[in-house]
Amino acid sequence: MRDDVKDILRKHDLKATPQRIMVYGKLLELGHASADMIYTQLNKENPEMTVATTYNILESFVKAGIIKRLFSSTNKMFFDINTKPHCHIYTETGDHYTDLFDPKLTEIISDYLLSKKIRNFEIEDVSIEIVAKRKNEKNYK
């Protein structure tokens, strides 16, 4: 896995530093996470990791296009390891994202917006967040 991460970083002109490898690896493990969630987990084993370093590394990944930035309905910033078009189901309990891959839904929305001929804009991405709660909230941790 470590070599795969190095390849991904190098492919995007990012030097494969140990800290970048750790941050990417942790986001790969978590799928969706805030900078604080990643920092909290990494700092336990790597006290030299700071929130600022974690955040700066994540921002460099966003700029390079290897991860995406998300803003939850509760105004929290998250990062997503998956850059392919997809929608999200967000549960406020536990600040949890679940991916919803539905190319048809994305296509319907894109086609609808294109049919409206929004002047001076070109659609780059369609991002939908469905806010929901689990039916058996008590049983979910």
Binding region for Zn ion (CB under 5 A): 80, 82, 99
Q: Which is nearer to Zn ion, 59 or 99 (CB)?
A: 99
Shortest approach of Zn ion to residue 88 CB, angstroms?
5
Nearer to Zn ion by C-beta: 52 or 71? Answer: 71
Instruction: Report, in Å, the least distance between residue 130 CB and Zn ion.
Output: 12
Smallest gap from residue 106 Cβ to Zn ion (A): 13
- In the complex, what is the shortest distance from the CB of residue 32 to Zn ion, in angstroms, rounded to a whole number? 6
Bridge partners (DSSP) of residue 97 are 90
Identify whether the C-beta of residue 9 lies closer than 8 Å to the C-beta of residue 24.
Answer: yes
Nearer to Zn ion among residue 5 and residue 80 (C-beta)? 80
Comparison of 43 and 82: residue with beta carbon closer to Zn ion: 82
Region of 95 (left: φ > 0; alpha: ψ -120 to 50; beta: rest) is left
Which two three-digit tokens encode residue 44?
């336990």
User: Strand pairing of 87-91 and 129-131?
Assistant: parallel
Q: Which is nearer to Zn ion, 8 or 81 (CB)?
A: 81
Q: What does residue 5 show for φ and ψ, rounded to 5 degrees?
A: -60, -45
The interaxial angle of helices 18-30 and 35-45, nearest 10 deg, is 120
CB of 68 to Zn ion, least distance (A): 7
Q: Which amino acid is at 13?
A: D
